[in-house]
Amino acid sequence: MGNTMITGKRMSVIKKNLLPLLFVLLLSRHTFAGEIIVVAAANLAPVMDEFKSVFEKGSHDKIKIVIGSSGKLTAQIENGAPFDVFLSADTEYPEILHKKKLTLSAPKVYAYGVLVLWTTRIKDLSKGITILSDPEIKKIAIANPHVAPYGRETVKALEYCKIYQNIEKKLVYGESIAQANDFIVSGSADIGFTSKSSVLAPNLKEKGVWIEIPAEAYSRIAQSAVILNHARESDMETAKKFYELLYSAQAGEIFRKYGYTVHE
């Protein structure tokens, strides 16, 4: 009996001490930071830094940003990567995921990208895209067209201008826009194609010269986003809040700042 009475007292003490702890644990679901993983195409790298700052300001919610080529990110999602929101450089890759029932809804365009020709080694681009045929240009950087939408549209632009076959052997391929940018900045390539957002990024906008590629030379780069199914397992509320931010007036201002166009 004595042992039973002592056990009962101990249980009473344990319960008394556990109640405040349980209350804190329950409360923490609301007061501690939600955290999601947002994956984005490489052309969005400078933009995502601003979005992260805007989203987390005055909030407990946190986001982790992963940057890569749209094609490779799509493959990772298909293979079960624990990502929550996907911002692609096109609409085709999110549509593939939607058709495979890996997203919560159909893709929605958040902005339209612009393709530019950029160099840190040449001072005059007045000849436009035809300069690529000049003998002194040995290497031309582009993002891999098989996994990067900007690379795909670069090939279309070269074909439209009827110079693709003439300069194809000069092309050097980056895994993404980010790597193509590295080739251009380092001088590993004489010139290259990238996103307008890249050349307007704070760390790059003072480097080299660039020109926009005529819009009629390539397909409009409609960039779309989706909430992925994994958000159900991590933090759906935070994922939805970030997704909604992408289509806000504040986001529109940020996108325009980096050379994108958005729906009015």
Which band of pLDDT confidence, cut at 50, 70 and 90, is reported for residue 264? low
C-alpha pair distances (Å), 218 with each of 116, 181, 186, 213: 11, 20, 27, 8
Helix/strand/coil for 61: coil
In percent, the amount of the chain with pLDDT more than 90 equals: 84
Tokens of 247: 């289509």
State pTM to two decimals.
Answer: 0.84
In this prediction, residue 33 carries a pLDDT of 54
Strand partners for 191: 140
In this prediction, residue 37 carries a pLDDT of 97
**Overall fold of domain 31-112+221-257:** D-Maltodextrin-Binding Protein; domain 2 (3.40.190)
Tokens of 155: 């090939």
| CA–CA gap between residue 244 and residue 29 (Å, rounded) | 21
Q: 26 versus 138: which is more confidently predicted?
A: 138
| CA–CA gap between residue 2 and residue 19 (Å, rounded) | 26
Residue 7 has pLDDT above 80, yes or no: no
| CA–CA gap between residue 192 and residue 158 (Å, rounded) | 12
* Token pair 């300001």 in the structure block, residue: 57
Which CATH superfamily is 114-217 part of? Periplasmic binding protein-like II (3.40.190.10)
Residue 212 has pLDDT above 90, yes or no: yes
Q: Minimum mean pLDDT among 22-36, 128-142, 180-194, 197-211: which range?
A: 22-36
Which band of pLDDT confidence, cut at 50, 70 and 90, is reported for residue 14? very low
| CA–CA gap between residue 219 and residue 84 (Å, rounded) | 28
Residue 24 has pLDDT above 80, yes or no: no
What pLDDT, in 10s, does the model give residues 55-70?
A: 999 788 999 999 999 9
Break the chain into its structural domains and give their ranges.
31-112+221-257, 114-217
